[in-house]
Amino acid sequence: MASYNALSTTDTETAPPDVTTSPEQLGDELNALPAPPILDRLERFLASTGSGLEVGSSLEAVLREVDAQLAALGAKEAELEARVQARLSALRERLMQWSLQQEMQAMLTSFSFFSVDAALVRSVQFWKWSLNFLARCFADMNERRAFVDGLVAKSLTTLDHIAQTHPDIDFHYRQCGSIVLFFDEAQMARELQHVVPERDQVLTRAETLLLEPSLEHVQFIGAIRHTKDRVGNCREYVAGLARHAAQLGVEFRLSTNATDLRVDNGRVAAVELMDADGVADSLPCDYAVLACGPDSLAPLRSSGWSWLPILPVRGYSITGAARPELDCTPREYVLLDQPLHVIAVRFGDRIRFASHAELTTALEPDEEKLDDLERIARTFFPRAFADGADIEAWMGRRPMTSDSMPILGVGHLPNLILHTGHGADGWRWSHACAELTTALLLGETPDLPLDQLSLERFPFL
Ligand SMILES: Cc1cc2nc3c(=O)[nH]c(=O)nc-3n(C[C@H](O)[C@H](O)[C@H](O)COP(=O)(O)OP(=O)(O)OC[C@H]3O[C@@H](n4cnc5c(N)ncnc54)[C@H](O)[C@@H]3O)c2cc1C
């Protein structure tokens, strides 16, 4: 669970660093601390699951104890965080040894480059989210993969159509494909199992460099190219869509919060609003669609919900003017896979790098993470940014559910539609999700089964 802070420029020039923190490194002092009972119970729970999932109801009681137990530990926050992360790391290692599905192993491996802050580790929310994460690892991954493929295909068909029929929305959209670079034989071998020949190409390092000469400073061993992937500037696209929607009569109330739902006779009668000047308003409605990303719980509290399986996973990007020569920056969307997990993509005359998966409730961006990202970008792509380019930094919060898939369906009130938890791929499947939501609003049968997206798929609610 190391964060990217461990990276230095010299590390990245030779080989990707090992990001796994071993329990030994944490020292005797930390190991002498008493273990939070929740971790022992979690371990016992995992041991009892075997190949299937048997969730004991006593776990609910365990969760209620979490806060008290962690607080009773009395350790300094940093020590507690390190200890809990070491235990989770050990748990992950043990799970990896089980003969479980490859996909689950991949999920657990990717969990290792998340960084988690101490305040969250102390919260019941985090532990419920984590238990749901582990529980969902036991779900049928092939079924989930097939569903996501269908969702994304449906989404891209609509996006392509809009791009073709609305040339005025200029968002640098192109089907240029994406290239995923691997640093590690085992990881590449795992991904090769999912290659679909009609859509993917397996490339040696030399073949990749022919396509993308700008990758010469990256010490990868090979790559998979997804030929059908698209790239576009999401912000420009959304701004263009909003212009069209406004022309059709849609009213946007910016800087206005939905603070609550007014419920009459078991239905949402109105959404309570508060604008930036503190002026309250009430918007009557036939239906309400909940799409508040990581903050989706806020308007639901008074109508009976205290928790959703969504945590904010922060990511960072830097964007700046690129050198005009095309061999200085990737032409396609390039993902430097684990342990770096950095993407590089060119939009016209600008180049963007994005990375990080930071589970935190903090509000301010972590400047060190932005510095790390810029250092990595400049190490691997030393000629990407134009001389003296202004670097625009951005931090966003991915509304991440415990299994990275959205929550879409009718909520606890019959005219409340949940459309949230879109995680790291919200744009990729956004159009399909919008169409499914429209079907629900119109009382039609959605053309994809919604059980994969229902809130009830999570056993710990
Ligand atoms: C660095 C980074 C890179 C990413 N790259 C990709 C990518 O390449 N492809 C991809 O598909 N996805 C990507 N994502 C993920 C994508 O950004 C998210 O999946 C997407 O933004 C989720 O959309 P959303 O509308 O559900 O939530 P959000 O984008 O979080 O939007 C929620 C909105 O609700 C508003 N809101 C919150 N509370 C209230 C309230 N009470 N009342 C009114 N409004 C409220 C917020 O202000 C916000 O505007 C990336 C994310 C990050 C951080």
CA distances from 355 to 188, 315, 358 (A): 20, 6, 10
Residue 141 CA, chain-centre distance (Å), reads: 17
Query: Is 277 contained in some domain?
Result: no
The pLDDT tens digits of the residues spanning 151-174 come to 999 999 999 999 999 999 999 999
Least confident of 171-175, 357-361, 404-408, 428-432: 357-361
Give the count of domains, the chain.
1
Residue 125, in any domain of the structure? yes
* Contact assessment for residue 194 and residue 201, using Cβ atoms and an 8 Å cutoff: no
> Is 354's pLDDT higher than 70?
yes
- Residue 386 CA to ligand 1 center (angstroms) comes to 29
pLDDT tens, 250-271?
999 999 999 999 999 999 999 9
Pocket of ligand 1 (CB under 6 A): 257-258, 291-295, 298-299, 315, 317, 354, 396, 398-399, 420, 422-428
Is 56's pLDDT higher than 70?
Answer: no
Mean pLDDT of 275-285: 97
Residue 80 vs residue 307, higher pLDDT: 307
Asked whether residue 85 is assigned to any structural domain, the reply reads: yes
Q: Which residues of 368-404 are buried (b: 16+ CB within 10 A; e: fewer)?
A: ebbebbbebbbbbbeebbbeeeeeebebebbbbbbbb
- Give residue 31's pLDDT band: very low, low, confident or very high (50, 70, 90): very low
Q: Whose CA is nearest to atom 16 of ligand 1?
A: 426
Q: Which residues of 306-317 are buried (b: 16+ CB within 10 A; e: fewer)?
A: eebbbbbbbbbb
Q: d(Cα 372, Cα 74) in Å, to the nearest integer?
A: 32
Distance from Cα 37 to the centre of ligand 1, integer Å: 35
Q: Tokens standing for 278? A: 């503190």
Rounded Cα–Cα distance for residues 88 and 90 (Å): 5
Is 219 inside a domain boundary? no
Sign of the dihedral through C-alpha 427, 430, 432, 433: positive
Q: How many CB atoms lie within 10 A of CB 6?
A: 14
Minimum CA distance residue for ligand 1 atom 35: 292
In a domain, 122, yes or no: yes
Is pLDDT of 10 > 80?
Answer: no
- Rounded to the nearest whole angstrom, what is the distance from the C-alpha of residue 40 to the centroid of ligand 1? 35
Residue 80 DSSP SS3: helix
- Residue having the nearest C-alpha atom to atom 20 of ligand 1: 426
Q: Is the peptide bond before 17 cis (omega within 30 degrees of 0)?
A: no
Residue 135: the pLDDT is 73
Confidence at 114, pLDDT banded by 50, 70, 90: low
Residue nearest to atom 21 of ligand 1 (CA): 426
Tens of pLDDT, residue by residue over 222-235, are 999 999 889 999 99
For residue 88, the enclosing domain spans: 4-141
Q: Average of pLDDT values for 28-52?
A: 50
> What pLDDT score was predicted for residue 12?
31
pLDDT at 110 over 50: no
pLDDT at 183: 87
Per the domain annotation, does 41 fall within a domain?
Answer: yes
Instruction: Find the mean pLDDT for residues 207-219.
Output: 93
| In-domain check, residue 107 | yes
Among 261, 292, 297, say which to mutate for ligand 1: greatest number of ligand atoms within 8 Å of CB: 292
Give the CA-trace dihedral at 431, 436, 439, 444, to 10 degrees: 140
Mean pLDDT for the chain overall = 80
> In terms of pTM, does the model score above 0.95?
no
pLDDT for res 273: 97
Ligand 1 geometric centre to CA of 421 (Å): 9
Within a domain: residue 264? no
CA 452, CA 461: separation in Å to the nearest integer? 16
- Res 336 pLDDT > 90: no
* Closest protein CA for atom 31 of ligand 1: 293
d(C-alpha 12, C-alpha 375), whole Å = 10
Using a pLDDT cut of 70, give the percent of the chain over it: 72
Distance 423 CA to ligand 1 centre (A): 8
